[in-house]
Structure 1
């Protein structure tokens, strides 16, 4: 009986993890937009500078695998366009690379000459965001009281003489 309960719990847990994974997944970036991963027509530096990359995001490289590949390299090999010591190589023509750590990531086409004419991408990956940033909301602001009455009066504590409050600016 305990086994059935634990199996049910495990199944429920797996469903919950799957649902959360779908709801908190990162952004999918198609490299080069409609042009894809190619030698001509895309300035990958400009393409990358118009986006923000975070851990959990994915890069989708679409290309003709008869003419190109995707080779992940070190910063040094990126500068030299040297694919001889790849960190990873992708060759399907439709590759998804999930960004798993913050920092710079470097990709080149490993076909000789392609990187040299611009088929290369370097991006800065930021840590995953922790959700919406809390914006402090100002509390009530007490307005200054009028000067005290010259003589004590039983109406001093009446609602008309109670402290007045004013709301601060509303949050954006």
Structure 2
């Protein structure tokens, strides 16, 4: 009976950690949703961003073909003029995750000639005062079932959380 009690306790602790990590780490938004970061399909990134409420801790994911695109973080003046000559940061992997750490506008554009002018630019606005009620672009993870193998909850965008889940899953395995 004591073994079942400690297994239940560890499971409850794990669920509480999942909930707390969701609050601390925010939501994950894939830019352009299923289309991704592209010039194909006339994606309206301004409209895409307008439908979201961004908060500190949110992760913005740019998925694109690195042979044809990139992501450059720029100033407001560079954003307005599509000037990619001296970006704040440049991302070129094709699967770039950027965590929002400040409340302000964050400006991004594709530095490939003509792409910004064609609309491949994005203004992420993290407001000073914001509502906590919004719909994330990626639904929150489902509550895990009791299983000795919880390693599938490890995510590359949250290595600390993944490490904790792995440790607790190992403990859970040995105590169940």
Check conservation: 1:55, 1:128, Cα contact below 8 A: no
Identify the residue that residue 36 of structure 2 maps to in structure 1. 36
SS in 2 for 1:48: helix
Check conservation: 2:53, 2:130, Cα contact below 8 A: no
CA radius of gyration, larger in: 1
Structure having the higher strand fraction is 1
Identify the residue that residue 55 of structure 1 maps to in structure 2. 56
SS in 2 for 1:126: coil
SS in 2 for 1:24: helix
After TM superposition, the score normalised by the length of structure 1 is 0.62
The 1:58–1:80 alpha-carbon spacing in structure 2 relative to 1, beyond 3 Å, is same
**Number of matched residues?**
117
Check conservation: 2:31, 2:63, Cα contact below 8 A: yes
Structure 1: runs of 5 or more not aligned:
1-15, 133-172
Q: Following TM superposition, by how much is the alpha carbon of 1:85 offset from its aligned partner in structure 2, in angstroms?
A: 1.1
After TM superposition, the score normalised by the length of structure 2 is 0.60
1 or 2 for the larger relative contact order (CA 8 Å, sep ≥6)? 2
Check conservation: 2:106, 2:125, Cα contact below 8 A: yes
Structure having the higher helix fraction is 2
Structure 2: runs of 5 or more not aligned:
1-15, 134-176
